[in-house]
Amino acid sequence: MVSQADAPPHRSRWTGRILPILLVLCFLIATALGLYALSFLRSMLVMERGQELARNAAAVADTLDRILFERFGDIQLFANDGILRNGARDEQHRRLLHYKQLYWYYSWLGVADAEGHVIAATDSLAPASITALPPDALEFVRRTGTIYVDKVPSTAGPARQNAVGFMAPLYGPQGTFRGAVASYVPIENLKTIFDQEGRLRYGRDIYDWLLLTRDGVILSEKHLLNGTAGEPLKLDIPSVGKAAANRDQPGFVEETHHRRGDSVVTGYASTRGYHNFAGLDWIVLFRQTHEQVYAPVDRLLWTVGGVGLLVILPLTGFGIWVSWQLGRERNRLLLTQHTLEKSVTELGRSNADLQQFAYVASHDLQEPLRMVSSYTQLIAKRYRGKLDADADEFIGYAVDGATRMQKLIQDLLTYSRLSTMAREFEPAPMGAVLNCALDNMVNAVKESHAVITHDRLPTVRGDAQQLAHVFQNLLSNAIKFSGNAPPRIHISARREGEEWRFSVQDEGIGIDPQYAGRIFVIFQRLHTRAEYPGTGIGLAICKKIIERHGGHIWVESELGKGATFWFSIPDPAQAPSAVHHTREAALSE
């Protein structure tokens, strides 16, 4: 038996030696786990903030592409302005001032004659500093007849320093080269884009940005040191190298600041241009220091540390377990978010193209074109037959050109709105869809004496209105390219695996097989407008509608042997049962 005299020494040994050791071990374990958690949270915060900086840089790069593409479109409008081509110098000067007030991005607009001498400009710099346009640029537009983009900042005069220049040729009525119209967009005027895009994501958080060329030369930055404005600085840092190597994918990197020497997290992205405007191949950088990135975790550290000193082991162990679980879930969410952002980025690119089409058509083209069309038609109505034959012919050309341009803009708007104005998919009886298309083209069928037949057609899931548009375009083409004989057209459908394949077969002039893919590209035509009218966008609309439904479209044809247009609609769930219709249209007097 243990006597009562032995108990106090045992309790004293437990409280005096073992318990302090356990407490110290618990403190050390909690400290080690806390440091590990701090390191983990910091790395996750760097990844999250780096991705945000990269997305912000990509948004600014896309906005720069859009703004400069609009300026690329402006110079084309300026070159087609009748006053800038043929007006008096004072009229040209007033028109240039009007354009500069409309588009505030410009610092200078001017018109030069065929020798490159400036004859009209927006400010007083023309006679003193910019008396002639660069001869190499003028020779380029004279030789090629295309737009010249000055990608390197010029030092010829104050209005053209550190600016992007655009130049387009001016032609007379007989196609003679009369000179050029030029514009300059200062890099300084683009700074607001960085501030606006940065404020959208970070609010009032401190961040830094730079705009560089592909070679790493700084064009502009948020904080420019005194005395460095005239000294271009070329950077050789990891972010520039990664952006140059991977032009199509934004990202982030941890590096050292080129001036202060402290460590920063840098998000990078590259400009890429739109359509026939190749862009200026710039690099956009957004930065934050590690101190700024770690600030949320550092504030949290003091709070957690104070609480951890009060309850060391239980809450620390529980917190580590929760942190581990949250880390796993966060990794899954980040992976899902990355996949979703990649899809959204690709979709945003595509939608940006469509929105740009709609923007140009609805704002920059339609209003002046309506004015041109209205006045040319008024001139044709009032003065036809009152002037000489050449004047009547020129008026006819102007009216015809304005009418064709309006039709082209309407088709472009239709093409761009196929996705934004689309309906949800629902069961669509293709027989009824075909009947709707035929009802829309009764006059064309009657005038051409077309015979249109079709087999039993199924019901599929889709947008009935858009599918009717496909049938209408294909039938219109079959009637248009029927040759001399009355058109004979047959529509059929057959089941192939998990999709329905529809065909529209005619006996017309046919298509050379080497052009089978080209005809589905927007604006691609195989015949002149004098032979067959149209804008060359109908089959491109069909292709986009069918691809929206998850199918594809193609043609089988030979010259002189007619053509068969095929398109498929996925239908994995439904059986091959169908709603059947038989209809023959043979309209004649």
DSSP string for 292-304: HHHHHHHHHHHHH
pLDDT top residue among 76 and 40? 76
pLDDT value, residue 382? 78
- For the chain, give the mean pLDDT: 77
Q: How far apart are CA 409 and CA 357, in angstroms?
A: 9
Report yes or no: 138 and 123 within 8 Å, Cβ to Cβ. Answer: no
Tokens of 352: 């940006």
Tell whether the model's pLDDT for residue 54 goes beyond 70: yes
What would the two tokens of residue 535 be?
């804008």
Distances (CA, A) of 129 to 39, 84, 164: 59, 21, 17
| Cβ neighbours around 224 below 10 Å, total | 11
Give residue 502's identity as a one-letter amino acid code. F
- Closest to 212 in 3D by CA, of 199, 224, 201, 221: 221
CA distances from 2 to 5, 6, 18, 241 (A): 8, 7, 21, 78
Quick check: 222 and 286 in contact, CB under 8 A?
A: no
Q: How far apart are the first and last CA of the chain?
A: 128
22 pLDDT more than 50 = yes
Residues 22, 26, 28: CA angle, nearest 5 degrees: 115
Phi then psi for residue 234, to 5 deg, are -105, 125
The pLDDT value recorded for residue 77 is 92
pLDDT over 60 (residue 13): no
88 has pLDDT over 50: yes
- Which residues lie closer than 8 Å to 81 by C-beta, 6 or more apart? 95, 181
Q: Is the pLDDT of residue 128 over 60?
A: no
pLDDT value at 272 more than 90:
no
- Quick one: three-class SS letters along 173-196? CCCCEEEEEEEEEEHHHHHHHHHH
Cα gap 30→305, rounded to integer Å: 10
Q: Has residue 100 got a pLDDT over 80?
A: yes
DSSP reduced 3-state for 584:
coil
What is the structure's pLDDT at 361?
61
Q: Is the pLDDT of residue 153 over 90?
A: no
Q: Look up residue 36 and give its amino acid.
A: Y
Map residue 361 onto helix, strand or coil.
helix
Please give the full DSSP string across 540-554, using - where no structure is assigned: HHHHHHHHHTT--EE
Pairing of strands 499-506, 459-462: unpaired
Length of the chain (residues):
589
How much is the pLDDT for 173? Answer: 82
E strand spans, 194-352? 208-213, 218-221, 251-256, 263-270, 282-289
Among residues 162, 252, 241, 163, the alpha carbon closest in space to that of 207 is found at 252
How far, in Å, CA of 84 to CA of 445, rounded? 46
- Show the tokens assigned to 588: 């004649």
Q: Tell me: the pLDDT tens digits for 345-376?
A: 887 777 667 666 665 665 566 677 777 777 77
Q: Is pLDDT larger for residue 178 or for residue 292?
A: 178
CA–CA separation, 92 vs 77, rounded Å? 14
**Residue of 311, 219, 323, 230 lying closest to 271 (CA atoms):** 219
Q: Could you tell me the two tokens for 499? A: 């999709």
Q: What angle do CA 285, 291, 292 make, to 5 degrees?
A: 60
- Cβ-proximal residues to 70 (8 Å cutoff; 6+ apart), any chain: 359, 360, 364
| CA distances, 371 to each of 70, 171, 399 (Å) | 21, 21, 12
Instruction: Provide the CA 282 distance to its chain's centre, in angstroms.
Output: 16
User: pLDDT at position 354, please?
Assistant: 63
Q: Evaluate if residue 421 carries a pLDDT over 50.
A: yes
Contacts of 541 (CB under 8 A, 6+ apart): 411, 414, 415, 418, 469, 473
CA max distance for the chain = 137
What is the rounded CA–CA span in Å between residue 111 and residue 280? Answer: 24
Res. 568 pLDDT band, cuts 50 70 90: very high
User: In degrees rounded to 5, what are phi and psi of residue 4?
Assistant: -65, -20
Distance CA 328, CA 197 (A): 32
- In tens, the pLDDT along 362-417 reads 556 667 777 777 777 787 777 777 777 777 777 777 777 777 776 777 666 666 66
State residue 188's pLDDT score: 84
Looking at residue 346, its pLDDT comes to 81
| C-alpha to C-alpha distance for 33 and 320, rounded to whole angstroms | 7
Strand 108-113 relative to strand 563-570, pairing: unpaired
pLDDT score recorded for residue 418: 66
Vertex 360 angle, CA 354 and 365, to 5°: 145
Q: Which of 247, 309, 255, 588 is nearest to 449 (CA)?
A: 588
pLDDT interval class at 582 (50, 70, 90): very low
Q: What 3-state DSSP class applies to 250?
A: coil
pLDDT tier, 189 (very low <50, low <70, confident <90, very high otherwise): confident
Q: Is it the case that residue 159 has pLDDT exceeding 90?
A: no
